[in-house]
Structure 1
């Protein structure tokens, strides 16, 4: 992978409404080399980018994402709750993000939101679109549902997977090997230099989340992580530029 990947968490989610095209575009302007997003399914089986399983926090809608058709979700305002300047920003489809970045070198970290709701066929659907855009080498599929990651690897050995976890797993790179996963997406406090070294020796990458403090970014860069997931891609870009 070489250079540290600057993953914008749900896009540039501090200055734009999260998981919207506005946030993804802004992140790229700010120097992000990766985009992290969340995918769920509509009631008619379409892949939409939204974090919460319910609509209330980020949109003008109510209820569960899974209970609405794509047409219903596309009619919602996904920007005004963040700031009235983003009125009529919409919930995007996975295809819209892939279309945006397909001609750049941007890495896309697609988190499968299948912990609370077990979306049937989500893995197959995501893989099919990634392959359709010829982006298998530029995608990392992550999830807290590790059964799902194992299935992804079985279906698409060529697409990288990242294990999301919160706590201090013992030798997580050994666990990653059992899933044939490529990366460890750990909560940043669960990342120590000796863990990064152990992972590197096993050929596993570390992409800690969600790192918003510059000192913590510096600590992790010193530890040798391969990517950082942040709400502030501009801060991380400045830090990485200063280290060149």
Structure 2
């Protein structure tokens, strides 16, 4: 029996288990990115307002990105323990930089003449942010969230080493089997498909929110 036939057989026999781990995997990535967005977007707006902070914040975010994911999980595990919380926190930290960066770029990229016209019409700084800057920057911000989600899906795959489960658990099970190619594919193929579909959907949303394309 070929590896492809073994893969089809394994999926047909373990479909519910694969779907459960797929759902678990996606939720960990989505929660990490959601929490990062809640923190990162205000930080991006703040450093756009106070440019002197941008260098420090970006550098700090870049330092986090240079730490190997498994090493970061191991450090987080000491505080959070085994399980999904450690993985969600790891995704959270690795999602900060792309969202902060894109929020910053989106806000400072708003045309100065548009902002001056808004001020001239009597808008406060808060009204300017809500009614002008964020609507014009939202597609750029979504691009950062899109990047963070795709990266997060990859990060979660390593979460099996801290007892979080997900599709990475299926991949590891396959590597431990005598002839585990089909099992590895059963974990790797859904992970790749999840990343591709998430990227396509987020890209579609990004284009829909782009004021230039509307």
Q: TM-score scaled to structure 1, two decimals?
A: 0.22
**Quick check: which one's strand share is greater?**
1
Normalising by structure 2, what TM-score?
0.24
- Give the number of the structure whose alpha-carbon radius of gyration is greater: 2
Higher relative contact order (CA 8 A, sep 6+): 2
